[in-house]
């Protein structure tokens, strides 16, 4: 039975990130312990010790990257800003539940119950659904909410008009910094996944492509008509992962004559290691070495009014469908 007095609330679900260099190893361990995110050999019996071993091995290298972006993940602060925008639109309790760091799902449920919430709409901040991200976060929150909150979830929002409009606005803002649009290209980026995941029916890749098609249409309606392509970040060296890799696509674009590049991440809604380090530091160095004349990276959506509008609308629609309305 739900504990609250009838209020409807919202939980925004995200991956999370280490709040300090000292938290990196524990963060990685939790990440590698999740069988829905990373498939390690040996099954459940060996997953925990193997996760501990791998996280210890990787912690120093990952710490070096975090040092270059300020010593911590910006994701929590970004998500808190987005949370505040959603609260302003809903006038209702909204909490954050991180999958691999604090605040945890259990902490979010405690806070919602304390605020008098009886029903909650859980929205993963992964616009494109994947069993490795959205499904894992929803399952973890459902575990924490069991017997305490009446729960409904939003599986994806990859083509929601507000999400699409927010991405288009960020890309327009990046384009506006260029002195010329001659030989300009928009490079959309997304986190890669194993091809086996897609072959098993996971819709993530098709939804990423649908997002890009929708954003391109929105930009065209705003008078922006530039060539574009898609490339993937964080491809693992073993196994078959979706490509092309961002670094390979950048080299090919330069060879084809592109001299101005807008890099537009479409699978991240908040700044994180993969935007602040992988794109803003590593990729930027490559772009300079390749000889691009002008480059810009479109921002993520934690300050986007269009995206906050979209999340509020998603919450209302889900409550109407599952609870009979927003109460």
- The predicted-structure confidence for 56-101, as pLDDT tens digits, reads as follows 988 999 999 999 999 999 999 999 999 999 999 999 999 999 999 9
Q: Decide if pLDDT at 233 tops 70.
A: yes
Q: From the centroid of its chain, how far is CA 19?
A: 17
Confidence of residue 50 (pLDDT cuts 50, 70, 90): confident
Give, as one character, the DSSP assignment of residue 302. Answer: T
Q: How far apart, in whole angstroms, are the C-alpha atoms of residue 264 and residue 242? A: 18
Residue 168's pLDDT is 98
Cα within 13 Å of Cα(198), Cβ side: 14
Residue 1's pLDDT is 41
Q: Decide if pLDDT at 253 tops 60.
A: yes
Ramachandran class of 324: left when φ > 0, alpha when ψ lies in -120 to 50, beta otherwise: left
Q: How far apart, in whole angstroms, are the C-alpha atoms of residue 65 and residue 72? A: 10
Residues with Cβ within 8 Å of residue 304, at least 6 apart in sequence? 166, 169, 170
Residue 5's pLDDT is 54
For residue 84, how many other CB atoms are within 10 A of its CB? Answer: 12
Residue 295's pLDDT is 98
Note whether 264 and 189 are within 8 A (CB): yes
Q: How far apart, in whole angstroms, are the C-alpha atoms of residue 218 and residue 212? A: 10
State the pTM of this model: 0.93
Helices (H), the chain: 24-33, 43-67, 75-90, 105-114, 134-145, 161-175, 195-199, 204-221, 246-255, 273-276, 284-290, 305-323
Q: How far apart, in whole angstroms, are the C-alpha atoms of residue 292 and residue 187? A: 13
Looking at the DSSP bridge assignments, the partners of residue 185 are: 261
Residue 275 structure tokens: 């935007």
What is the pLDDT averaged over residues 297-306? 97
- Mean pLDDT computed over every residue of the chain: 93
Residue 42's pLDDT is 60
Q: What is the pLDDT of residues 187-213, one digit of tens each?
A: 999 999 999 899 999 999 999 999 999
Instruction: Give the burial string for 51-63 (b: 16+ CB within 10 Å, else e).
Output: beebbeebbeebe
Which domains, and CATH codes, for the chain?
7-157+305-323 (3.40.50.1400), 161-297 (3.40.50.1400)
Q: What is the pLDDT of residues 148-165, one digit of tens each?
A: 999 999 999 999 999 999
Q: Decide if pLDDT at 6 tops 90.
A: no
Confidence of residue 235 (pLDDT cuts 50, 70, 90): low
Note whether 2 and 33 are within 8 A (CB): no
Element containing residue 185 per DSSP (H, E): strand 184-191
Residue 33's pLDDT is 85
Residue 97's pLDDT is 98
Residue 39's pLDDT is 66
Give, as one character, the DSSP assignment of residue 13. Answer: E
How long, in residues, is the chain? 327
Q: From the centroid of its chain, how far is CA 26?
A: 21
Q: Decide if pLDDT at 43 tops 70.
A: no
Confidence of residue 4 (pLDDT cuts 50, 70, 90): very low
């Amino acid at each position: 039975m739900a504990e609250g007095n009838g209020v409807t609330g919202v939980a925004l679900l995200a991956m999370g990130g280490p709040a300090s260099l000292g938290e990196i190893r524990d963060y990685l361990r939790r990440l590698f312990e999740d069988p829905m995110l990373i498939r390690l050999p040996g099954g459940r019996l060996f997953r925990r010790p193997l996760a501990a071993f791998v996280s210890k091995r990787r912690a120093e290298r990952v710490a070096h990257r975090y040092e270059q972006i300020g010593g911590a993940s910006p994701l929590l602060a970004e998500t808190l800003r987005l949370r505040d925008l959603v609260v302003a639109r809903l006038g209702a309790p909204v909490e954050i539940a991180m999958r691999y760091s604090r605040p945890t799902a259990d902490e979010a449920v405690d806070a919602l119950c304390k605020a008098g919430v009886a029903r909650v709409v859980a929205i993963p901040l992964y616009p494109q659904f994947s069993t490795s991200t959205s499904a894992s976060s929803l399952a973890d929150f459902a575990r924490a909410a069991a017997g305490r909150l009446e729960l409904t979830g939003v599986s994806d929002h990859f083509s929601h008009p507000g999400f699409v409009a927010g991405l288009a606005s960020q890309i327009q803002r990046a384009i506006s910094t260029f002195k010329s649009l001659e030989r300009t290209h928009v490079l959309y980026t997304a986190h890669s996944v194993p091809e086996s995941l897609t072959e098993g029916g996971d819709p993530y890749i098709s939804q990423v492509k649908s997002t890009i098609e929708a954003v391109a249409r929105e930009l065209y309606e705003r008078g922006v008509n530039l060539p574009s392509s898609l490339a993937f970040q964080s491809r693992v060296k073993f196994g078959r992962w979706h490509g092309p890799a961002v670094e390979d696509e950048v080299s090919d674009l330069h060879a084809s004559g592109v001299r101005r590049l807008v890099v537009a991440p479409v699978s991240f809604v908040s700044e994180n290691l993969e935007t602040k380090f992988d794109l803003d530091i590593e990729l930027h160095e490559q772009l300079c070495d390749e000889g691009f004349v002008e480059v810009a990276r479109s921002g993520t959506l934690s300050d986007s009014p269009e995206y906050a509008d979209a999340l509020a609308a998603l919450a209302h629609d889900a409550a109407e469908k599952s609870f009979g309305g927003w109460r």
